Structure 1
């Protein structure tokens, strides 16, 4: 076989899970399905491995390279992984596969087929490389709470194992062959691909910076003002890098559906220019499910029955029949093969070149796509992380965990009389929480909750037994939801370190809770970022850049770049009102009337559409009421708008409107980022206040923590988040190089140095005005434009 033979790598685990899965999709099976999804699993592994004698070697890397020739195409299939343990005794060698679970091991009468297949793969590789005629396999199941163990052992002849592995290789070879053929076709189209627009100022450098980041396996942080064309400037060079073999898969990660659409449109634009690329957008389960409410089991959904027997064929059919994979195509092929469209979408992603999805699917410990990140080695993937400023708060939330006392009591009511052991375990946890509640009047930090954690582990094991026995009962959803919350809580406790604090408090409804609060998510994000080749974080608002780099897992050697704004400064007007304050102590009718007067002068200067952003619904509503009779044609953002209402709201921003329209919105809300009102669909924005979050117990804990660790408590807890909302809101104006627009910042604090340091470069120079001086300046701006 020539030196240039292409290499296809797959982990032992992914290989057996892919080829050997079968049967029904069933959300009612608690234990077995979750057996190896637990983070505690690794703790148990280490513990069992340490207890074994000198004949036991733990974590043994094994790999096998198989030359394959199909349809005149020669390639190498590399199967690799780590055996949990290898036992070498005088007479025999045994491969040990360890699995931790919460379920009572009494319920386990045979090994889970996929686990046995994993052990058999390692056994085959080891026996082949060490010329053994026979080899043993052992599946070690361990209860995570009691640490009871159950073993399943077997001795295999190498000849039988060899036949078994040959069949496995054959089944996978057709997929590997497709992958190679498609890769060649795709790479040819990438080589011919040109940048689809004339380069704007600074854009060519940005494209080259992204390419070099992928080439050098680095992380890049880009502060790129609106209009730079962030999506095309990151997607294009990353695809080019894929064509050069530098990266195998791209993940385009977003916080909101609207930015996902931009990524899809960018990919589609390149497709129209001749690019061949399989891109899959992962849609939330409830949006793509064929049922009114997702319930994945054979009794509720006809497609769940035998789903795993048919899904590989469905995916192969889709991949070989369609170059362009859309949501509609996934629904069509899922219908044709009668499988679940959501699960099929995840499986298709395994073979896609580009995956467009929410941050969750990569970073969230509960829903991340394990198939991509569970092997030990670094993967040839690149992450493109859009609107990256959102990831700080999202990550803190993902890596925090909360338990509500009332939920535990509710589960106890729902299972009453069904399972004594579970009721007793719920009681113990409830008593732990009651004890904490008696000592807690308001936000209170807790030093040690290890007793509660031990009781939760015991509860989990009783929970597992209950769910194994009871498949259907009233209140099942609530019982399962609390189960998932406890599982998450224990998972987070497992990674708890000095970047966490634990506190107790009450919800707005008066429910008592305990929270493991992630203060700094960088370590958690790094565990995922370290598994991929490179990552590009980009946003119009990453100021101060060192804060975002630090929180998002940047390293000393990573780059930060600022893409210059392509806008002509003559086309925009920025002013700060020096005599307005939105501090809590100054919120009164007199101050509000002054704000209304500013808005009136600002919006009367030129007919058009304007947005006014407020720090809260409360202030928005009070000012709206006072403005009646002074401001005409005011519309207001509702507090929980449906997709249709949101669409309608934006559609009213027409080009060349016949009358001035003023929309009152909330900073940090759905209209303050991610929406694109080009040209004169929006000509001005008024930002009322500095967007600082409300003072509350949790925010004060952040302030205290960052005051102690960085001497920047106020900045980390309030200022940076507030200013980000301000910058995002202001960024709704001036979306293309032809746009002209005005921004008015109403808050005297904007003249303070701490705030000024967070102004983007393109905001300088700006005017400082009072309401009398504003009229002449804004009139002058619009006359000259």
Structure 2
């Protein structure tokens, strides 16, 4: 008999599946709330000597050759005669939750969990216990006790139906694991010959997985990193019957992993992949609000999913992307976003954005697979991993401003009359709560103690308004002001609870005055502790990028142990003569010297680019810097000048890239480091032949950044490098990496700034940029060296044409 362990929360579900996607269903992926409420209630209960908290419970249920071991933990039991089992559930609206539980106790997960505890106790002790749900408000002191009676025959009817479902799920899980193991045995490498360096990369990953160590791998552009990482990780995960989750910092970067999947499939693999599209992009409604009163696609979602066997339809497809989910969503009136998450169980490779794994209340992290014929946990691959520390900090660093709230006021005049006056009054009260954080005033930012209680009080009032607003059936359009106010306030308040915890030194809160109001900003300097919790869901962790030095910095701020993580650097696989690296230390981008250097930069770009017609990128530290250089720039004859605009849409970025691909005329594109054109974009072949990286783009020297520097100095003894130098060099190296993307590319990289000579900066450069000293990149005759480089590449190209040699 095969034994399968299930958490009680995954066992005690309605059978057949029922319910909508909403806050009170007890189903879906709502975040676990109220741990502090549980602890407070349990502490109060312990004054009763008959009370025992957190009691482990398990029961083995056998069906059709499977043994389902159900593990749970009762919140509390009173050892009386008869005993009383109590479960604590928290919710904002406990009256509504209570009604749901009383109306259909065998159709709600919360009551089913309590019934299961009672049933297991009856099987073991032979006596039926009393059962009680204690419902506690998450935003007030209100509570409600709900007594439930365990009807054994009725419960066993549900149990029989539920076990049949579990048997079917187990058989599917067995087939899934067997298919993956079979795939591992013949998983094809998609190229006839690995690129130079790919073999070492794959060997390093295999060794790291054998040691069970997380990995941080810096691999140069053009190495074939994605395939080189995915091949050994997928093969190893499949051998355990497991899947792989591949995360990127942006949705736009999913294409790299999807291309790798194409190559694996073309080589004969039957790998199944699923790409998760952001909720806001795939939702059918004007507002991505999961409420059955507002959204017909959330209403009765679980019944529709079951009755139409939609997951079976999806399981037959080898490539799942947004179009499929939208088509099925429209056909069966189900939420396409939620459908992605439910379908991810069957996928061998899930491709998604960072936030599905690392953000607070991450959706994918709460998905559970039935573990049968599997070993360990899924594997996690983190692409462009140099972005992870900063991105994770952003998740926990919201800002709430009076300007944002005031923008909602005008739209509230169009709200249905029963709500517009109340909404206006609540908006006024929220603004008063926000501006009170400024204290006596002043024109400078200041660090404040988070005023948690006033924010919680307003949050409670806003939630009450939102519940009534949704229940009213009022028509809601895009950017509904009540939804905007309630959601922005609630999200900020939730994270303010982190910042208000005195033990969390990595958070600080600041007040920023402006005009007639101001903004409260929560800053997370270090999200490593939260990231560590996310890794618990995964067995193997492989993080890679072209920019991960110094390794200690990225390991610490990514939540990995610098002492145990395996690190390695893999240089460019291409001959060094294909790339010319130059450093011009006569230029300075230091703030005090910028005015004298704008013209020098413009002139150097003009003269160097004029040596060979083609497309060039000029990466500047910021938009104001870009604008000053561009004012003084005079392009070489025949060159077209383009520039990156602030807040460019994806369509506008693609239009610029298409002009570079077309190559109709030599072009110089001015852009910013860390922007849309400097990371995650492949400029293949003649699309770009040179890049100018002007200065390390140090973050703004301001009050907030200085607070971060103090934290890093106190915690890690490296204040300035962690707050300024290392983040800047990551952007600079990424920008430089846009040039050489394949074995046939030739390109020029020019670094401009005397600070690149400083060991604090040069230590973050790839090892293959120079042999022993960064001064090797300084030329005594720049234009002559550039001319000779281009002449040499042209001679090499002609030689290859004659001899038939590859790149």
Shift of 1:783: 1.3
Name the residue aligned to 1:476: 482
Q: Aligned residues, how many?
A: 765
TM-score (norm 2): 0.87
Q: 2:178 aligns with which of 181, 184, 197?
A: 184
Mark the runs of 5 or more structure 2 residues left unpaired by the alignment: 475-479, 794-807
- Residue in 1 that maps onto 2:783: 775
Match of 2:111 in 1: 116
Q: 1:515 to 1:314 in 2, by over 3 A?
A: farther
Q: 1:324 to 1:502 in 2, by over 3 A?
A: closer
SS at match of 2:216: strand
CA distance in 1, matches of 2:15, 2:242: 22
Does residue 258 of the first structure (1) align with residue 248 of the second (2)? no
**In terms of mean alpha carbon deviation, does 435-444 or 658-667 score higher?**
435-444
- Equivalent pair of 2:400/2:492 in contact (CA under 8 Å): yes
**Bigger shift: 380-389 or 457-466?**
457-466
Q: How does 1:654-693 map to 2 (within 5 A)?
A: 654=661, 657=663, 659-693=665-699
Q: What is the SS of the residue equivalent to 2:158? A: helix
Of the three residues 704, 712, 728, the one matched with 1:706 is: 712
Aligned partner of 1:101 among 91, 99, 106 = 91
2:41 maps to which of 37, 42, 48: 48
1:560 partnered with 2:554: no
Equivalent residues in 2 for 1:281-300 (5 A)? Answer: 281-291=275-285, 294=288, 296-297=290-291
8 Å Cα contact 1:21/1:114 also seen in 2: no
The residue number in structure 2 matching 1:441 is 442
Distance 2:400 2:630 in 1: 39
Q: Which residue of 2 aligns with 1:346?
A: 341
What SS class does the counterpart of residue 320 from structure 2 fall into?
A: coil
Partners of 1:680 and 1:564 in 2: CA distance: 22
Residue matched to 2:799: none
Shift of 1:367: 4.4
User: Shift of the alpha carbon at 1:680?
Assistant: 2.5
Contact 2:21–2:27 (Cα < 8 Å) also in 1:
no
What is the aligned counterpart of 1:586 among 593, 600, 613?
Answer: 593
What secondary structure, in the 3-state scheme, does the structure 1 residue paired with 2:660 have? coil
Counterpart of 1:210? 205
Question: In 2, are the aligned partners of 1:407 and 1:482 still within 8 Å (CA)?
Answer: no
* Post-superposition offset of 1:525: 0.7
Q: CA deviation at 1:310?
A: 0.5
In the alignment, is the contact (CA less than 8 A) between 2:34 and 2:138 conserved in 1? Answer: yes
- Equivalent of 2:313 in 308, 311, 318: 318
Alignment of 1:113-512 (within 5 A): 113-128=108-123, 130-197=124-191, 198-245=193-240, 248-291=242-285, 294=288, 296-297=290-291, 301-312=295-306, 313-369=308-364, 371-372=366-367, 380-405=377-402, 430-442=431-443, 444-446=445-447, 448-449=449-450, 452-471=451-470, 472=472, 475-493=481-499, 497-506=503-512, 511-512=517-518
TM-score, normalized by length of structure 1?
Answer: 0.89
The residue number in structure 2 matching 1:544 is 550
How many Å apart are 1:329 and its aligned residue?
A: 2.7
Match of 2:625 among 619, 626, 646: 619
Aligned-partner SS, 2:732: helix
State how far apart, in whole Å, the 2-side matches of 1:109 and 1:425 are.
Answer: 28
- Give the direction of change, closer, same or farther, for the CA distance of 1:382–1:334 in structure 2 (3 Å limit): same
Q: Tell me by how many angstroms 1:587 deviates.
A: 1.9
**Superposed, which structure 2 residues align to 1:633-644 within 5 Å?**
633-644=640-651
2:761 aligned residue: 755
Deviation at 1:479, TM superposition (A): 2.9
Structure 1 residue 501: Cα displacement: 3.7
Please tell me whether the aligned partners of residues 242 and 248 of structure 1 are also in contact (alpha carbons under 8 angstroms): yes
Supply the distance in 1 between the matched residues of 2:296 and 2:90 (Cα, whole angstroms).
32
Distance 2:67 2:189 in 1: 34
Pick closer, same or farther for the CA change 1:11–1:18 going to 2, 3 Å. farther
Residues 119, 128 of structure 2: 8 Å contact kept: no
Distance 1:333 1:306 in 2: 15
Does the C-alpha gap of structure 1 residues 301 and 418 become closer, same or farther in structure 2, counting only changes over 3 Å? closer
Verify the 8 A CA contact 1:35 1:101 in the aligned structure 2: no
After superposition, the C-alpha distances for 1:719-767 in whole angstroms (9 at most, x for unaligned) are 1111111000000011123322111001111112211222210110466
**Deviation (angstroms), 1:402:** 3.2
- Structure 1 position 272, deviation (Å): 2.4
CA 1:442/1:314 → structure 2, altered by over 3 Å: closer, same or farther? farther
Q: Post-superposition shift, 1:78?
A: 3.8
Deviation at 1:67, TM superposition (A): 4.1
Cα distance in 2 for residues equivalent to 1:494 and 1:667: 34
**SS of equivalent to 1:690:** coil
CA drift of 1:162 comes to 3.1
Question: Residues of 2 paired with 1:300 and 1:469: CA distance?
Answer: 12
Q: 2: distance between equivalents of 1:609 and 1:301?
A: 49
* Cα pair distance change 1:508/1:362, threshold 3 Å: farther
The question of whether the paired residues in 1 share the 8 Å contact of 2:693 and 2:736 is answered with: yes
Change (3 A) 1:627 1:456: closer
SS in 2 for 1:516: strand
Query: CA–CA distance in 2 between the matches of 1:161 and 1:307?
Result: 24
Residue 524 (str. 1) matches residue 530 (str. 2): yes
Q: Separation in 2 of the partners of 1:592 and 1:408?
A: 39
Structure-2 separation of matches of 1:619 and 1:215? 48
The secondary structure found in structure 2 opposite 1:576 is strand
Change (3 A) 1:146 1:635: closer
Residues 344 and 350, structure 2, Cα contact 8 Å, conserved in 1:
yes
1:576–1:744 CA contact under 8 A, matched in 2: yes
2: CA distance, partners of 1:260 / 1:704: 36
Q: Deviations for 1:647-672, whole angstroms, at most 9, x for unmatched residues?
A: 121122237x4643211111110010
Distance 1:412 1:577, change over 3 A: closer
Rounded to whole Å, the distance in 1 between the matches of 2:768 and 2:741 is 13
SS in structure 1 at match of 2:129: strand
Contact persistence 2:176–2:346 (CA under 8 A): no
Contact 2:52 2:77 in 1 (8 A): yes
Q: Are residues 703 and 175 of structure 1, via their aligned partners in 2, closer, same or farther at CA, if it must alter by over 3 Å?
A: same
Equivalent of 2:7 in 7, 11, 17: 11
Q: Any stretches of 5+ residues in structure 1 without a counterpart?
A: none
The 3-state SS of whatever aligns with 1:665 is: strand
Output the aligned Cα RMSD. 3.2
8 Å Cα contact 1:34-1:101 kept in structure 2: no
